[in-house]
Amino acid sequence: MTVMTTLTDKLFGRERRELKIVFALVVLTLSAVLLYPLGCVLFQSILDGNGSLTLANYTSLLSEPRFWNALSNSFAVSGLSAVIAAVLAFGCAYGLHFTRLNPWAKKVFQIVILLPLFLPSITYGFAVIYSFGRLGLVSQIFGVLPFSIYGFWGLLIADVIYTLPPAFLILSNAFHYIDRNTITVSRLMGDSPWRTFYISALRPVVGALCSAFILSFFLSFTDFGIPVSIAGQYDVIATELYTTMMGAVPDFGRGAVIAMAMLVPSIASVMLLKYVERFNFRYNRINYQPPARNRVRDALFAGYYVIIAAVLLSVFAVMFVVPFVEQWPYKPVFTLDVISRILSDSVVWEVYGNSVGVALASAVTGTLLCYAAAMVNARSQLKGWCRTTMDSFAMLTNTVPGMVLGIGFLFAMSGTMLANTFAILVLVNLVHFFTSPYLMATSALSKMNAGWETTGALMGDSWLKTVMRVVVPNSAATLWQMFQYMFVSSMVTISAVVFLSGARTMLITTKIKELQYFEKFEEIFVLSLLIFFTNVAVKLICDALAERARKNPQGGLIQSIMRRLSSSRTPTLSPVSTGA
């Protein structure tokens, strides 16, 4: 036992046995659900039809003009949509922080611009068609667009709507940490308005602006839902992969090579995100003085917000119209017959129950895994390579597109007991959305008192009891945010699960994909509304619980559960607020 303890101390450092076990379990789990599937994709890409190792799949694909055409199309539409989304998001975020518009108006606009996050991307394409198509809602009011909505232009519009909310969140957060004193100093020095704008607003957020562009490009390039709904004959890399894998004659070798090709720009995007972090400004002190009064500026931004909100609402308003008319657009007469007929179908509620169940299971298991990984990083004295391993897994999961994960799971789990089960859907969601909750938990745990575990040990408490009664209650607000993120993401995802769900395990998003072939758009919009209202309800509940946890670290639902689980007659360290 002494020899074993010495070996583990040399390998992991002098740390509690529990944390070593947590580290081992997290590494084994992520290796099984991330590294192994990716290895299967790589191995499949170098196998020929006879099972021999070869590079023929690569040479064959790289010599095909169709592949290069799809790749160039993806770069074109993703690059342009990322530029537009980043510029629009910059204007939106700047106005929220540097104007004196009414606070409630700003709050309403924030809600409107974030609404697309609660819908699956596949819905965006259908909403754009029903809004801007030849017989669309907007087209009938303002006239038909001078270009076809199918193909490049439809993809561009839908991708901008899809990437605008995350780009806005990045830039809004960056503007929050700008020192407003730079405006006063610049004016006192006699700078022109444009130079003041550059010094006080543009230059400090250059890194965030680059991050918004890169993230928008990555999301557009790897998304499957929008292209499958509106791309038409405009080939992109995502639809090329799906057609290769799920077509009449599947070609797994070629599909694996396309998946590997999708990884290249994805890895480059994450590396660039790390690089542009050096352009971020860090102030010793941040002054939040309100901006100067300027009615012209405020009026211009009010008009800008009205236009952005009107476009977003006009696109998604069709979802609230089509299910409530007899036959859009030929019989636009209000009726409840259509939605009643759809909701009376037991299949609708079956796939809805499947989606909610998978989302709940993904949120619970994902939150636990991410929190455990964050504990290793932020609240342990394990050796540096252990914490680096956690960060590396987070970076890798952030790099791999959902479609590539789906292909990897298809290769890795085919023929196993996990194939065509809900468990495989939960596992792919767990690894797909690992990064953001992990970073949330790491940030929260690193701000807490580092001596709580030591104090608990001195009072006779075990490490686990101290964590459950002190650390977890003080991070309950973050746990609810993590749960919310995992749940909403699992409800709207399609890129990974489209390869893994079957007739018995069908989810709402994959059901929408099926309904597309039968042109049942009323059903598509009703299912989309079910997703939307479910996600909004979960967000409101989680926000309320998180706010309650912030105000009373000892009195929330998570805190009550932790107290019951750790109840004992031994003295315990009472939970206290972090004050952070």
Residues 107 and 183 grouped into a single domain: yes
Q: How many CB atoms lie within 10 A of CB 560?
A: 12
The pair of three-digit structure tokens given for residue 18, joined into one six-digit string: 């529990």
Q: SS3 for 177?
A: coil
Same domain as 425, residue 307: no
| C-alpha span between 334 and 427 (Å, rounded) | 43
Residues 294 and 374 in one domain: no
Strands 331-334 and 325-327: antiparallel
Kindly state whether residue 393 falls inside one of the protein's structural domains.
yes
* Percentage, residues of the chain above pLDDT 70: 87
Q: Is residue 458 part of a domain?
A: yes
- Span 129-144, pLDDT tens digits: 988 888 777 877 777 7
- The residue behind tokens 């969140």 is 169
Q: Which amino acid is at 482?
A: M
* Choice between 530 and 327, residue whose per-residue pLDDT is larger: 530
Rounded mean pLDDT, 305-321: 90
Considering the domain boundaries, does residue 574 fall inside one?
Answer: no
Over residues 476-494, mean pLDDT? 93
Closest Cα partner for 383 from 1, 81, 19? 19
pLDDT average, residue stretch 249-262: 90
Stretch among 449-453, 505-509, 541-545, 556-560 having the lowest mean pLDDT: 556-560
Q: Cα–Cα distance between 17 and 262 in angstroms, integer?
A: 40
- The first and second tokens of residue 405, run together, are 């994960």
Residue 556: predicted pLDDT: 56
What is the average pLDDT value for the chain, to the nearest integer? Answer: 84
pLDDT at 34: 92
Judged by average pLDDT, the poorest of 58-67, 117-126, 523-532, 564-573 is 564-573
Compute how many other C-beta atoms are within 10 angstroms of the C-beta atom of residue 405: 27
The average pLDDT across 472-485 equals 89
pLDDT at residue 285 tops 80: no
Work out the widest C-alpha separation in the chain, in whole angstroms.
Answer: 81
Q: Are residues 18 and 135 in the same domain?
A: no
* Residue 229 zone, left/alpha/beta (φ > 0; ψ -120 to 50; rest): alpha
Of 516, 403, 311, residue with least CA distance to 38: 403
Domain with 204 in it: 67-320
Q: Confidence band (pLDDT; 50, 70, 90) for 11?
A: very low
> Which residue(s) pair with 331 in the sheet?
327
pLDDT, tens digit, 9 for 90 and up, residues 502-553: 889 999 999 999 998 888 889 999 999 999 999 999 999 999 998 888 877 6
Residue 449's pLDDT is: 67
Say yes or no: 23 and 84 in one domain.
Answer: no
Structure confidence at residue 357 (pLDDT):
97
Which of 290, 320, 350 is the last residue in one of the domains? 320
- Sequence-distant (6+) residues with CB within 8 A of 274 are 395
Average pLDDT over residues 193-217: 84
Asked if 42 and 98 sit in the same domain, the reply is: no
> CB of 154 within 8 A of CB of 125?
yes
- Compute the distance between CA of residue 5 and CA of residue 13 in angstroms, rounded to an integer: 10
Reply yes or no on whether the pLDDT at 579 is more than 70. Answer: no
Q: How confident is the model at residue 4 (pLDDT cuts 50, 70, 90)?
A: very low
| Tokens found for residue 539 | 């967000």
CA distances from 33 to 105, 211, 356 (A): 44, 28, 22
**Total domains present in the chain:** 2
Q: In which band, very low, low, confident or very high, does the pLDDT at 3 lie, cut at 50, 70 and 90?
A: very low
| CATH number of the CATH domain containing 276 | 1.10.3720.10
| Model pLDDT, residue 366 | 95
Domain final residue pick, 268, 291, 320: 320
Considering the domain architecture, whether residues 76 and 190 belong to the same structural domain is answered as yes
In a domain, 242, yes or no: yes
Buried/exposed 46-69: b ≥16 CB within 10 Å, e otherwise: bbeeeeeebeebbeebeeeeebee
Same domain, 305 and 156: yes
Instruction: From 523, 521, 557, 432, select the one nearest 34 (Cα to Cα).
Output: 432
- Judge whether 4 lies within some domain: no
Q: Specify the pLDDT at position 7.
A: 43
Cβ count near 426 (within 10 Å): 22
How many Å is the Cα radius of gyration of the chain? Answer: 25
Residue in the structure block whose two tokens are 């000892």 = 554
| Stronger pLDDT, 368 or 519, i.e. the higher one | 368
Question: What's the confidence (pLDDT) of residue 284?
Answer: 54
Non-local (6+) Cβ contacts of 356 within 8 A are: 491, 534
Same domain for 361 and 259? no
Q: What is the mean pLDDT of residues 237-247?
A: 90
Residue 394 lies in a domain: yes
Tell me the C-alpha distance between 275 and 103, whole Å: 35
Q: Which of 320, 355, 374 is the last residue of a domain?
A: 320
My answer on whether 25 and 93 are in the same domain is no
Q: How many angstroms separate the CA atoms of 11 and 526, rounded?
A: 55
Predicted confidence band of residue 387 (pLDDT cuts 50, 70, 90):
confident
- Does position 570 have pLDDT exceeding 70, yes or no? no
Q: Which residues contact 291 (CB under 8 A, 6 or more apart)?
A: 98, 99, 100, 180, 183
Per residue in 57-70, pLDDT tens? 899 999 999 999 99
Ranked by mean pLDDT, the top range of 184-188, 336-340, 448-452, 556-560 is 336-340
Are 152 and 299 found together in one domain?
Answer: yes
Do 373 and 451 fall within a single domain? yes
With CA atoms as reference, report the closest residue to 310 among 109, 519, 71, 28. Answer: 109
For a pLDDT cut of 90, what percent of the chain falls above it? 44
- Would you state the pLDDT for residue 48? 81
